[in-house]
Amino acid sequence: MTQPETSCSASGAAPRFPVRRGACPSLVNPMPTGDGLLVRLRPAAAGLTPGQWGTLADLARTFGNGLLDVTARGNLQIRGLAHQDAAQQLSAELSRAGIEIRSGTAVETPPLAGLDCAEVADASGLADQIRDAIRQHTPALALAPKLAITVNGGGLFNLSDAISDLRLDAVRHGGQVLWRIALAGDARTARPVALVDEAQAVSHVIALLELLHAQGSASRGRDIAALVPALDEACFPAELTAGPVNPAGVIRNGSSAVLGLRLAFGRMHAGELESLMAGLSGLGATQVRLAPDHALLVLGLPDGAIPAAARLAAEQGFITRPDDPMNSVSACPGTGFCAAGRLDTQELAGLLASQAPDLLDGSCTVHLSGCTKGCAHPSPAPLTVTGTDAGLRIVLAGRAGDAADLNISLEEFRALLPALQQGIAQHRQAGQTAAQALSLSGAAIFGMAP
């Protein structure tokens, strides 16, 4: 499930910069974090060339600390800017390089919109119409800065899992493609309020945004859900039941192939990115797109060049295989990267991979969080390990900030790992996944059962 975007502000340290609550980090409003200011960028182009990515890497090193994130929703972040002026200079350099950055309300589309062989509809045209209608609305709509509108055309990389304030999902209905408009949730949980064709969709969206505006500039989709009559749906559209494919690995898209690269811990270094993009360019890649779940999608590679491209990416630290155990780990930067961090998430992920490998079988997310804010995975995970000043908090089927099922020290957690591995392995021998093992016997495996 793609989470609402959160910002990893340095809640554990006195901020050096003014913080505006409820704001999103942007070039105009950078967000203070443990390693300086952070800016979140939404490039206007669906994809950037390897050369443009090289420019971004260079700018991240010049104006930031050389670290870049791709967030769970597929936004790019540049970290470690020293001061507000650096954000303005970065903005100017991006313009000079021809990399246009979108501002305003986020209107998200699947990363391969228009190219996805399995999509129900190309969402990009409708998304542009919605952006234009918001921009041209008189009076200007006062909307919550974190409001998320999703236009999900479906396909391999569909956005069915993206939690959104307002969403439009393409569905086949009576021999035509319609847009199902829903409020507050993912494709399965949001409250459906209309089923319309593309020509009617924009006016419906604007009517809902006007309702949000009338409720106040902090209002979110959940605040108006009860005010709009729900759609009387006879059955749940089949298009919305399947989530997206794992973005790591080679994914066939019709007659072409896409190479998906996931960023371990959601971040990459400028040097790694530069090396990767120089190599991809030489191998024939034409475009690299941001994708949800901390991923990049490489387009244009000839089939024969894909193994070399995957090798190159793996050498630079990217996850290139769907069966990589690190796909099971959702972790924030943690200690050393964020002032609030009380856990070395990278070290703990390595420990889990080496000493409890059966836990990372791809069936569930293990959330490692530097503090109770839980930036990397705001919704519940089967297992969450959170760092605090007092040690580690273990939460089963919950969030980083939920009440702990167990409070232990790092040393005690290390000592528990053989039992954790053994407990999961026993369930695997019985044909069960790690997710099932945690759900059925998590408390016993952690020695919490009476």
Give me the least distance between CB of 371 and ligand SF4, in Å please: 3
The total of other beta-carbon atoms located within 10 Å of residue 302's CB is 12
CA 440 to chain CA centroid, nearest Å: 28
Q: Where are the alpha helices (DSSP H) in 97-197?
A: 124-136
Site string for ligand SF4, 9-28 (x = CB under 6 A): --x-----------------
Closest CB to ligand SF4 among residues 34, 153: 34
Binding of residue 374 to ligand SF4 (CB under 6 A): yes
Among 373, 377, 399, 427, binds ligand SF4 (CB under 6 A): 373
Give me the least distance between CB of 186 and ligand SF4, in Å please: 22
Among 80, 333, 378, 398, binds ligand SF4 (CB under 6 A): 333
Give me the least distance between CB of 370 and ligand SF4, in Å please: 3
Binding of residue 369 to ligand SF4 (CB under 6 A): yes
The answer to whether 201 and 175 are in contact (CB under 8 A) is: no
Q: In what order do the strands lie in the sheet with 329-331?
A: 329-331, 366-369, 381-388, 391-398, 406-408
With tokens 């809640």, the residue in question is 11
Binding of residue 329 to ligand SF4 (CB under 6 A): no
Among 340, 352, 359, 437, binds ligand SF4 (CB under 6 A): 340
Binding of residue 74 to ligand SF4 (CB under 6 A): no
Q: Cα(36)–Cα(31) distance, rounded to whole angstroms?
A: 8
Closest CB to ligand SF4 among residues 113, 340: 340
Give me the least distance between CB of 377 and ligand SF4, in Å please: 9
Structure-block tokens of residue 323? 């069966």
Give me the least distance between CB of 379 and ligand SF4, in Å please: 14
Report the first-to-last Cα separation within the chain, whole angstroms. 33
The answer to whether 309 and 298 are in contact (CB under 8 A) is: yes
Question: What H or E segment, with its residue span, contains residue 210?
Answer: helix 198-215
Q: Is residue 147 classed exposed, middle or buried when 0-12, 13-18 and 19+ CB atoms within 10 A define those classes?
A: buried
User: Sign of torsion, CA 359 363 364 368?
Assistant: positive
Give me the least distance between CB of 10 and ligand SF4, in Å please: 7
Strands 164-173 and 148-152: parallel
Binding of residue 375 to ligand SF4 (CB under 6 A): yes
Closest CB to ligand SF4 among residues 134, 329: 329
Closest CB to ligand SF4 among residues 39, 209: 39
Binding of residue 341 to ligand SF4 (CB under 6 A): yes
Closest CB to ligand SF4 among residues 11, 433: 11
Give me the least distance between CB of 369 and ligand SF4, in Å please: 5
Closest CB to ligand SF4 among residues 221, 370: 370
Among 163, 371, 438, 445, binds ligand SF4 (CB under 6 A): 371
Q: In what order do the strands lie in the sheet with 176-185?
A: 106-108, 148-152, 164-173, 176-185, 191-196
Closest CB to ligand SF4 among residues 25, 155: 25
Per DSSP, the residues of 76-111 read: EEEEEE-SHHHHHHHHHHHHHTT--B--SSEEE--T
The answer to whether 166 and 222 are in contact (CB under 8 A) is: no
Give me the least distance between CB of 68 and ligand SF4, in Å please: 15
Closest CB to ligand SF4 among residues 78, 297: 78
Structure-block tokens of residue 278? 């120089």
Structure-block tokens of residue 312? 């190159």
The total of other beta-carbon atoms located within 10 Å of residue 189's CB is 10
User: Sign of torsion, CA 243 247 250 256?
Assistant: positive
Binding of residue 384 to ligand SF4 (CB under 6 A): no
| Residue span binding ligand SF4 (CB under 6 A) among the ranges 259-267, 331-339, 353-361, 406-414 | 331-339
Closest CB to ligand SF4 among residues 179, 265: 265
| Residue span binding ligand SF4 (CB under 6 A) among the ranges 209-217, 229-237, 258-266, 335-343 | 335-343
Using CB atoms, what's the residue nearest to ligand SF4?
370
Site for ligand SF4 in 260-319 (CB under 6 A): none
Among 3, 5, 8, 47, binds ligand SF4 (CB under 6 A): 8
The answer to whether 364 and 328 are in contact (CB under 8 A) is: yes
Which residues here bind ligand SF4, judged by CB under 6 A?
8, 11, 332-334, 338, 340-341, 369-371, 373-375
